[in-house]
Amino acid sequence: MSTNTESIKVVVRCRPMNDKERAATFESVVSVDVKLGQIIVRNPRESLSCKSSKVFTFDSVYNWKSKQIELYDESFRPLVDSVLQGFNGTIFAYGQTGTGKTYTMEGTRNDPERRGVIPNSFDHIFTHISRSQNQQYLVRASYLEIYQEEIRDLLSKDQARQLELRERPDTGVYVKNLSSFVTRSKEEIENVMNVGNQNRSVGSTNMNEHSSRSHAIFVITVECSELGLDGENHIRVGKLNLVDLAGSERQTKTGAQGERLKEATKINLSLSALGNVISALVDGRSSHIPYRDSKLTRLLQDSLGGNARTVMVANIGPASYNLEETLTTLHYSSRAKNIKNTPCINEDPKDAQLRKFQEEIARLKAQLEKRTGKKNRRHKRRAGDCSDGENQEEESGDDDVDNKDDENKEKDNKGDYWREQQEMLEKERKAIMEDHSLVAEEKVQLLQEKEKKMADLKREQKEGELLATKIKTMESKLLVGGKNIVDHTNEQQRMLELKRQEIDEQKWKEREMRQQMESRDEENLELKETYTSLQQEVDIKTKKVKKLFAKLEAVKAEIHEIQEAHISARQQLEQTQNELTRDLKLKSQMIDNFIPLEDKNKIVTRAYFDEEDEYWKMKPITRVEHDPRMMNRPQSAVGFRRPLSHHARMAMMLSLDMRYKAENILLLEMDLPSRTTKNYQQPVIAPKVVAALKDALKDEDDLEVDASGFDCSLSPVASASGSIRKPKSGRSRTSKQLNTRTASCSPQNLTSPMYPQSRGLVPK
């Protein structure tokens, strides 16, 4: 196991001017010194002195003429090689949108010359496997995307599903339930990539904007099993992360609202967290590295300061209008150069799939063996019974023939065996049918038995075949080299590649030496110098002071720039914070005004933050303090906070009636209906009527009627004394009226009955 510490390799690639930039005659401000590994950026606003240009040195740099394969061979092939040896490796492309990150990682499909790192690595891996000897490989591919801090599996059928990150002490951070496909050839893995790319564009209204704000990670896991010196099979697992990061430009947040604001802040979060992790790693003073701040940094934890090998490719554009972003990218990448990783080989990890495959195949084979073994024994026994010496000879001679013959024979044997068995059963069935000595019932029973045996036989045969195909499919997933390829060509190609690798290594070394020489030149100049005269010493020292002064100025300018960048970043953060605070206030006010205080308190006491899921969750309610039994939450309709009857749900769906929209707290205010009643007002009665009424309702006990001139025998109630008694019943008024009227009727009218002409008390 290697425990060497090595730095992250940083390479910079400058793309050519595009048509638009050329048409607008933008100036190129970037020059690339490939031999020395330097990028020189000139500020067009300042004079053409050395002060205005900035020099950045990297492990390797590529100009606009660089070819994809050149980049791969020189900078990425060694990393993929180490993945094949069992190291973890990461290649990530960083830079402003439109500078060629996707071009570098994926390239142009269907153009072999312009294929990017990902397809070139497919080629590399499968060619390596086909040339290997005495090794067994298993290659798996996964493809995921981080968008708005949410992980999406680009190979899953359900694109809406979000995935979670999990951590295990032995294997580190991984994505739970991420689908991975076993691929057996270059074509298969290319197909996986294409499916993922298609899914990447689905669901995004603007693909350009989406890809510039999301991080795409293609993961290839290569497992290799080889017989070790100890005679045991050892498995090495290498994981290659190929990362196309979101655009590094600052997200302009003018007018960003709601979802867009959320998106902008989250994208910033992932990239700024990456920046913070890099700073913390380079700083060396901080013991805490903020990996947990974002999904991206957690996933890349191994690759940044961990046990993986990492190459970062920084993409820049040459045009003057991109100057600020180009400088930011170069500063960022320069810092990343100083990150130290400690790569180590993953040998025999617990979760190696290859081991599981091998074990499963062995288990299935044993199962099949057991089946066929049992049958063969039966077969032998039967053959012995038949006293056919030939058969025995054939079987005993099995050990001498080679494997292939063995296999074929086994197959033939199996086929024969099934055929024989069937024929025998058939024969027996016929014999029973023809046997007249048996009673019909016995016959039926025996026949049924035979039928059952035949069905069992067929089932067994089917199961055996199923097992065999299962073994075959599993075995086909494990790749072994040395097949189908002429060894001679292999050897020559291998030599050619070794030579190319040597040349590339030479180039790296040469560049490194040049860089070292240049920095040493400046330091050692003074030591070597011997002065012949004082004047000469003064001259030379003045020159040196001038040079150092220029350097000092450059450093000062850089500090100033970094400070300015910090200030603007802080201002942006403050602006975001203000917007978020405002958002928070709205929510708080809603809670204060619409949620009862006791409910709010209940929620606050029960809520806790789940760090793994990054989600607020509710602790379960316990009925009694120390009782582990949980109180069952009432069954509620999905999505609602309280149980709802079927009727209520239907009414909610069908009508606009607010009555059933119980969950919508904002619509709680009721619409009051308009009034339909009036205040009571006493009726107004004319004074004349009041007087009449009063009069009428007067107590009539002492009412005197003069009936002296009236001899009437009509009224039985008229007393001799002439006074009329007021009846005690409630109908006093009627009788009174009647009596009064009776009293006033004239003697002439006595013959014909007299009826009142109008109601009331007014006499006619």
Binding of residue 349 to ligand ADP (CB under 6 A): no
Beta carbons of 169 and 350 less than 8 angstroms apart: no
Give CA–CA dist 391/383, Å, rounded: 7
Report DSSP letters for 98-153, one per residue: TSSHHHHHTB-TT-GGGB-HHHHHHHHHHHHHHH--SEEEEEEEEEEEEETTEEEE
Amino acid found at 177: N
Q: Cβ of 564: how many Cβ atoms within 10 Å?
A: 10
> From the CB of 96, what's the least distance to ligand ADP, in Å?
7
Closest CA to 333 of 551, 9, 102: 9
> From the CB of 244, what's the least distance to Mg ion, in Å?
6
Single out the residue of 15, 128, 140, 375 in contact with ligand ADP (rule: CB under 6 A).
15
> From the CB of 181, what's the least distance to Mg ion, in Å?
23
> From the CB of 116, what's the least distance to ligand ADP, in Å?
9
Single out the residue of 95, 306, 318, 481 in contact with ligand ADP (rule: CB under 6 A).
95
Query: Which lies closer to ligand ADP via its Cβ, residue 248 or residue 265?
Result: 248
Three-state DSSP class for 607? strand
Closest residue to ligand ADP using C-beta atoms: 100
Q: Which residues contact 609 (CB under 8 A, 6 or more apart)?
A: 615, 616, 617
Binding-site partner at residue 16 among Mg ion, ligand ADP, none, CB < 5 to 8 Å by type: ligand ADP
CA distances from 429 to 9, 439, 453 (A): 78, 15, 11
> What binding mask, one character per residue, do residues 18-37 give for ligand ADP by CB under 6 A, x or -?
x-------------------
| Segment lying near ligand ADP (by CB under 6 A), choices 12-20, 193-201, 548-556, 638-646 | 12-20
CA angle 72, 77, 83 (to 5 degrees): 140
Beta bridge partners of 12: 61, 314
> What binding mask, one character per residue, do residues 153-192 give for Mg ion by CB under 5 A, x or -?
----------------------------------------
Closest residue to Mg ion using C-beta atoms: 102
Binding of residue 333 to ligand ADP (CB under 6 A): no
> From the CB of 243, what's the least distance to ligand ADP, in Å?
12
Give CA–CA dist 281/268, Å, rounded: 19
Helix pair angle (440-477, 353-385), 10° resolution:
140
Query: Which lies closer to ligand ADP via its Cβ, residue 206 or residue 748?
Result: 206
> What binding mask, one character per residue, do residues 243-282 give for ligand ADP by CB under 6 A, x or -?
----x-----------------------------------
Binding-site partner at residue 100 among ligand ADP, Mg ion, none, CB < 5 to 8 Å by type: ligand ADP
Give the tokens for residue 160: 């809406």
Binding of residue 317 to ligand ADP (CB under 6 A): no
Single out the residue of 82, 90, 99, 303 in contact with ligand ADP (rule: CB under 6 A).
99
Query: Which lies closer to ligand ADP via its Cβ, residue 98 or residue 119?
Result: 98
> From the CB of 101, what's the least distance to Mg ion, in Å?
5
> From the CB of 64, what's the least distance to Mg ion, in Å?
18
> From the CB of 578, what's the least distance to ligand ADP, in Å?
30
Q: What share of the chain is helix, strand, coil (3-state, %, to 5)?
A: 50, 15, 35
Binding-site partner at residue 37 among Mg ion, ligand ADP, none, CB < 5 to 8 Å by type: none
Give CA–CA dist 725/737, Å, rounded: 13
The sign one gets for the Cα dihedral 743, 746, 748, 753 is negative
Report DSSP letters for 161-209, one per residue: -EE-EEEETTTEEEETT---EE--SHHHHHHHHHHHHHHHHTT-SSHHH
CA distances from 293 to 54, 275, 506, 596, 637 (A): 32, 11, 40, 34, 36
Query: Which lies closer to ligand ADP via its Cβ, residue 247 or residue 481?
Result: 247
Query: Which lies closer to ligand ADP via its Cβ, residue 321 or residue 660?
Result: 321
Binding-site partner at residue 95 among Mg ion, ligand ADP, none, CB < 5 to 8 Å by type: ligand ADP
| Segment lying near ligand ADP (by CB under 6 A), choices 95-103, 142-150, 424-432, 651-659 | 95-103
Beta carbons of 374 and 35 less than 8 angstroms apart: no
> From the CB of 358, what's the least distance to ligand ADP, in Å?
40
Beta carbons of 7 and 339 less than 8 angstroms apart: yes
Single out the residue of 97, 120, 297, 328 in contact with ligand ADP (rule: CB under 6 A).
97
Binding-site partner at residue 82 among ligand ADP, Mg ion, none, CB < 5 to 8 Å by type: none
| Segment lying near ligand ADP (by CB under 6 A), choices 99-107, 225-233, 546-554, 574-582 | 99-107
CA distances from 541 to 252, 518, 531, 538, 544 (A): 49, 19, 10, 5, 5
Give the tokens for residue 630: 């949980």
CA angle 372, 376, 379 (to 5 degrees): 135
By CB under 6 A, how many residues form the interface with ligand ADP?
14
Give CA–CA dist 569/250, Å, rounded: 9
Give CA–CA dist 22/321, Å, rounded: 12
Query: Which lies closer to Mg ion via its Cβ, residue 37 or residue 95?
Result: 95
Binding of residue 98 to ligand ADP (CB under 6 A): yes
Binding-site partner at residue 15 among ligand ADP, Mg ion, none, CB < 5 to 8 Å by type: ligand ADP
Single out the residue of 136, 142, 211, 307 in contact with Mg ion (rule: CB under 5 A).
211
- Residues 96-115 touching Mg ion, rule: CB under 5 A, are 101-102
Give the tokens for residue 330: 């170069």
> What binding mask, one character per residue, do residues 181-220 give for ligand ADP by CB under 6 A, x or -?
-------------------------------x--------
Instruction: Count the helices and strands in the chain (H runs, E runs).
Output: 20, 20
Beta carbons of 121 and 162 less than 8 angstroms apart: no
Helix pair angle (323-336, 534-594), 10° resolution:
100
First and final C-alpha spacing in the chain: 136
Strands 135-147 and 88-95, bridge-based pairing: unpaired
> From the CB of 361, what's the least distance to ligand ADP, in Å?
42
By CB under 5 A, how many residues form the interface with Mg ion?
3
> From the CB of 212, what's the least distance to ligand ADP, in Å?
6
| Segment lying near ligand ADP (by CB under 6 A), choices 36-44, 92-100, 542-550, 660-668 | 92-100
| Segment lying near ligand ADP (by CB under 6 A), choices 43-51, 98-106, 325-333, 486-494 | 98-106
Beta carbons of 83 and 239 less than 8 angstroms apart: yes
| Segment lying near Mg ion (by CB under 5 A), choices 12-20, 206-214, 540-548, 574-582 | 206-214
Binding of residue 103 to ligand ADP (CB under 6 A): yes
Single out the residue of 16, 349, 464, 482 in contact with ligand ADP (rule: CB under 6 A).
16
| Residues of this chain that bind ligand ADP (CB under 6 A) | 15-16, 18, 95, 97-103, 212, 247, 315
| Residues of this chain that bind Mg ion (CB under 5 A) | 101-102, 211
